[in-house]
Structure 1
Amino acid sequence: MKIFYFTATGNSLYVAKRIAGERYSIPQMLKEGKNDFEDEAIGFVFPCYGFGLPRIVLDFIRKSNFRATYFFAVMTYGNMAAAGLRHLENVGKEAGIQFHYINEILMIDNYLPLFRMEDQLAKEDAKKIEEQLDRIVGEINSREKRVIRKRGGSVFFSKLIHHFFAKKQLDHGDQGFVVQDNCNQCRVCEQVCPKGNIKCNGKPEFLHICEGCYACIHHCPQNALHLKSERSSLRFRNRNVTLTEIMDANRQVLL
């Protein structure tokens, strides 16, 4: 079983680890130019961005060829997923993928413009993450066939929000980033960026090809990176994932 994942703060990587199988980082696959994959089962794990797919996941699926007898996907989200999975199903059809299992899992929301991390962490127990994961892992291992579909107004709402997110948040979204004076030029931000959007010749410089994932902000050891519009300065990384794992998954530069 092959699992392709994209992660910024570790939620999706943790889900991929729990499912088990061979794990492949989507940013690394794109960087290495690998686009032909075959296995008995192939899965995708990724976060919900603007009620749809992260652009990097969309690009990977469209550029690649997949052959399997069982396709599955799990989308992580932290507040509301709406009809984000419909986006995946449509893109899958364009790529010749017929999904047998698609599900979503409620986890910690790390979207700094809308949510205070203090509030999100206080809700962690109520989200019953491990209970959800146990069920999803069991269903995938049993090769259950089930696709979550949301209809009606949820689909229209999701398309509208995703269009707005793609237009306003991506690429030049990094213009809202602030580098404070306590930056010690450690280059962690450069190494966790999945798009190669950050170059550190001294303090970080942004190249305006931002994915809007905020990995650079959440993982800065000095808490020196901020958003002008952030709700709090507290940062988040899934406790089951290390910073090294995220750097290995997303690093776009050779050190």
Structure 2
Amino acid sequence: MKIFYFTATGNSLYVAKRIGGELYSIPQMIKEGKYEFEDEAIGFVFPCHGSGMARLVVNFIKKSQFKAKYFFAIMTYGGLSFSSLRHIERVGSEVGIKFNYTNEILMVDNFLPNFKMEDEIRKKDSEKIEEKLNNIINDIENRENMLITKGILSNILSKYGRRLADKLSDNYDKKFIVQDNCTGCRACEKVCPAQNIKVNGKPEFAHKCETCFACIHNCPQNAIHLKSEKSKARFINKNVKLKEIIDSNNQSNE
């Protein structure tokens, strides 16, 4: 079984690790130019980005060739998921993927304009997360067939939410503020999956942001902030280390 994942603050990586199999970071596959894959089962694990998938994930799937008897997709989300899983179903159908199983799991949301991290961490029940994750793992092991459906209104909201997110993403980094306590450690550059950051003393942004906020949450000095953030608190999944996120997303040749 092969699992392709995209992670910014560790939730999707943790879910992928728990499901098991061979793990493949989508940014690393793009870096290595690998786009042909085959296995008995192939899965995708990703966070909800603007009522769907981040553009980086979409482009990878569209460019790739996958061959398997069983396809599944698991989406992590923190607020309202609506019909966001339909996005990967639509994109998958363009390259010949017919999903057997889709599911979603409510976890801490790292989207700082909407959520206070202190509240998110406090409100999200770790026992419920583990219970849902165990159910998903059991379903996949048993090769269950089930697609999440939400209804027409939810479908419409997700469709237009995705369009809006695409329009806002590129220049979103103009809202980032780098404070004087930045040490130029380059952690932000290394965790950015979009090659959007180059550190020359301090981070410089290239305006091709995925709005994943990996740079903000993984900064060891808490030196990168948003003009509209709800709090200064940050989040990294407690089961994932910074090095794992760097290994997943680092696009340099180091």
Q: TM-score, normalised by structure 1?
A: 0.98
Q: Percent identity?
A: 61
Q: What residue is the counterpart of 1:26 in the other structure?
A: 26
SS at match of 1:75: strand
Q: 1:109-158, CA deviations, whole angstroms, 9 ceiling, x for partnerless residues?
A: 11000000011011122771000000000000111111112221111111
CA distance in 2, matches of 1:247, 1:140: 28
SS at match of 1:162: helix
SS at match of 1:23: strand
CA distance in 2, matches of 1:123, 1:42: 32
CA distance in 2, matches of 1:97, 1:178: 41
SS at match of 1:128: helix
Paired amino acid for 1:139: D
CA distance in 2, matches of 1:20, 1:164: 34
CA distance in 2, matches of 1:155, 1:125: 27
Paired amino acid for 2:253: L
Q: What residue is the counterpart of 1:123 in the other structure?
A: 123
- How far apart are residue 171 of structure 1 and its match? 1.3
Q: What residue is the counterpart of 1:217 in the other structure?
A: 216
CA distance in 2, matches of 1:62, 1:100: 18
Q: What residue is the counterpart of 1:113 in the other structure?
A: 113
CA contact (8 A) 1:107 1:127 kept: no
SS at match of 1:30: helix
Q: Which consecutive unaligned segments of at least 5 residues does structure 1 have?
A: none
CA contact (8 A) 1:189 1:215 kept: yes
CA distance in 2, matches of 1:42, 1:128: 26
Q: What residue is the counterpart of 1:59 in the other structure?
A: 59
Matches within 5 A, 1:1-255: 1-125=1-125, 128-168=128-168, 170-255=169-254
Following TM superposition, where does structure 1 have runs of at least 4 consecutive aligned residues deviating by more than 2 angstroms? none
- How far apart are residue 254 of structure 1 and its match? 2.2
CA contact (8 A) 1:171 1:208 kept: yes
Aligned pair count reads: 254
Q: 1:188-232, CA deviations, whole angstroms, 9 ceiling, x for partnerless residues?
A: 000000011100111110011111100000000000000111000
Residues 65, 241 of structure 1: alpha-carbon distance in 2 compared, 3 angstrom cutoff: same
CA distance in 1, matches of 2:53, 2:242: 24
CA distance in 2, matches of 1:134, 1:250: 27
Q: Which consecutive unaligned segments of at least 5 residues does structure 2 have?
A: none
CA contact (8 A) 1:106 1:127 kept: no
SS at match of 2:89: helix
CA distance in 2, matches of 1:98, 1:162: 21
CA contact (8 A) 1:182 1:222 kept: yes
